[in-house]
Amino acid sequence: MLEKFIIIAIGGGFGSALRFAVSALIANSRFPAATFIVNILGCFIIGLVSAYFNTHSNISQNIKYLFTAGFCGGFTTFSAFSLENMNLIEKGDYLIFFSYVFSSVIFGIVAVFLGYYLIK
């Protein structure tokens, strides 16, 4: 178990560093372009690696963790959220899909406001 944590931490470190680099390279504007780009790119990357890992069963779990939970998780948690939703859609769990998307967005925004205003 400790090995998995270390693998994920290594991937997460690289993902977080790349997210910082993208944010530093993209000028600030009214639209949060850096976050948008990172989220969409992270979703694309997790889609690529998930499809690859699903078609190549001989790849070790540690490599999967390195790229999915590690790199993509450090790069953007939005990618994991999107992958979970794709899985719900593929299973036909549309009610859970819509509930998860709606509640995650609404409660996430409310939680940010609550946390912010509790300290302010």
pLDDT tens readout for residues 70-94: 999 999 878 888 989 999 999 999 9
- Which of 60, 47, 79 has its CA nearest to residue 4? 60
Q: How confident is the model at residue 116 (pLDDT cuts 50, 70, 90)?
A: confident
User: Is 103 exposed, middle or buried (CB count within 10 Å of its CB: 0-12, 13-18, 19+)?
Assistant: exposed
The pTM of this model reads 0.78
